[in-house]
Amino acid sequence: MAMQIDGVLGVVIAVAALCSLVANAVWMGRFLYRRALVRNASAVGLVNDAAFLQAIFDFAPYGTIVLDAADGNRIVAANREWYRENLLDESKVTGATALETDIWLNPKIASAFWRLSALLHQRP
């Protein structure tokens, strides 16, 4: 009986590890995809448009922030829900609690990045 429980527990642990691996692979794919978009946006040199950037963030499906490293990592734009939940805690604003803090962006590059991202997501 104990061997059967150990076997089931082993299968559960293996499935959990596999799910974690898949989740990490998906996150890394999104990270690399966004990093490539940022490089493309930087090359394109689209102008900064704070209102457009904020609109994209307001309709983003998950909490997202962009930080401006040139200005002490202040928030440039934030998803409305994330902003409501986390703005009061300064450590969360500049910490690693949001998905998009993997790349430090300036507003011009962020604006270009989100324009490209919005265009890509409009494709059928």
Q: Which residues in the chain belong to E strands, given as ranges?
A: 65-68, 74-78
Could you tell me if 78 and 87 are in contact, meaning their C-beta atoms sit under 8 angstroms apart?
yes
Collect all residues with Cβ–Cβ distance below 8 Å to 112 and sequence separation of at least 6: 41, 42, 44, 45, 46, 48
pLDDT tens string 34-85: 555 544 444 444 434 455 555 555 555 444 445 444 444 444 445 555 555 6
pLDDT for the residue 90: 46
- The DSSP code for 65 is E
Best mean pLDDT range from 25-29, 77-81, 111-115, 119-123: 25-29
Domain encompassing residue 80: 2-121
pTM for the structure as a whole: 0.30
Q: What is the pLDDT of residue 42?
A: 42
Give the number of domains in the chain.
Answer: 1
**Separation CA 105–CA 98 (nearest Å):** 14
